[in-house]
Amino acid sequence: MERTISLVTPHFQADLHLKDYYNDDYAGVSFYIGHKDSGQLSGMISIKGDYSGTINLQHMLSLQQSIFDDIQCGYDDTPRFGTEILKALIEFVRINYPMIHTMELTDLSYMDTIDLVIYSIMLYKQTWYEKRMKAYRIPKEEYNEYREQVELYASKKTKESVSWMEMQYNMIMSSYYTNSILHTYMKFFEETFHNTATFPDFFYRIGTVIPLNEQSAFYRRWVDEIVRIYITDDRSWSKRTWYIDIN
């Protein structure tokens, strides 16, 4: 059976299209929000069979812009379509499918210029999924290891181990674009480096003088390399699977 319902949030509305699938071994509901061909937000609710008790989010184009805007705007209170619709979807599943306990999603939040997982961690010590949706990874031991590495990256001790000359070299070797911005704001960047305690503080402060539409291109590559020095768990960058509790 196919049906369409309206998801209404405080600021947005979207149609949720659902289709039931049943056989002897499986029961589930596929869904998509947006256009069927592009599947801006789509996935499968598994009721019986493999992955039963979970909702798997498979395509998340409508989330990507919300994630990007949240990061650039400091996770402010501005309403964003992707965020509100995802929360409305979770609430719909929680009420109508009480046997579903967990949402599983695989992060594909890459913009043309930057990996949004890196972008959020470098500034705020959390991914968008952790900060907005209280997401986690399993097994718990792997998640705890990842969190320890994030805290190491963001610690005072780590920043104290890096000199301004080393940081400047990273920027110079990154790209012509980053290098040109460095030379424009050299004095401010150097003063800020010496007046901030951690990498997130430093990266956030220097971003305040760069136009929003240029920040991701500026941070590209050199910050990515710095973050990966300390967050060495390859699972953070390969599997990228997150879990969100529903019921």
Could you list the residue range(s) of the whole structural domain that residue 177 is in? 153-230
Q: What is the pLDDT of residue 234?
A: 58
Q: What is the pLDDT of residue 59?
A: 73
Domain co-membership, 131 together with 76:
yes
Domain co-membership, 111 together with 168:
no
Domain co-membership, 36 together with 56:
yes
Give the count of domains, the chain: 2
Q: Considering the chain, what is the average pLDDT of its residues?
A: 90
CA atoms within 13 A on the CB side of 41: 23
Domain co-membership, 76 together with 129:
yes
Domain co-membership, 7 together with 76:
yes
21-30: per-residue pLDDT in tens? 988 889 999 9
Q: Look at 34-48, 63-77, 150-164, 169-183 and tell me which has the smallest mean pLDDT.
A: 34-48
Q: What is the pLDDT of residue 235?
A: 56
The answer to whether 82 touches 63, Cβ cutoff 8 Å, is yes
Give the strands of the sheet with 41-48, arranged side by side: 2-8, 13-22, 27-33, 41-48, 54-59, 102-106, 241-245
In single-letter form, the type of residue at position 22 comes to Y
Tokens found for residue 92? 């719909």
Domain co-membership, 24 together with 119:
yes
Share of the chain above pLDDT 70, in %: 93
Distance CA 224, CA 175 (A): 13
Domain co-membership, 179 together with 147:
no
Distance CA 71, CA 46 (A): 32
131-172: per-residue pLDDT in tens? 999 999 999 998 999 999 999 999 999 999 999 999 999 999
For residue 83, pLDDT over 70 is answered with: yes
For residue 238, pLDDT over 80 is answered with: no
Q: What is the pLDDT of residue 209?
A: 95
Q: Is 13 helix (H, G, I), strand (E, B) or coil?
A: strand
**pLDDT category, 63, cuts 50, 70, 90?**
confident
For residue 33, pLDDT over 60 is answered with: yes
Domain co-membership, 162 together with 195:
yes
Q: What is the pLDDT of residue 79?
A: 95
Domain co-membership, 164 together with 144:
no
**pLDDT category, 106, cuts 50, 70, 90?**
confident
For residue 241, pLDDT over 80 is answered with: yes
164-206: per-residue pLDDT in tens? 999 999 999 988 899 999 999 999 999 999 999 999 999 999 9
Domain co-membership, 129 together with 14:
yes
1-27: per-residue pLDDT in tens? 899 999 999 999 999 999 999 888 899
Q: Which residues pair with 187 in a beta bridge?
A: none
Domain co-membership, 222 together with 240:
no
Domain co-membership, 67 together with 138:
yes
CATH number for the domain spanning 123: value is 3.40.630
Q: What is the pLDDT of residue 55?
A: 95
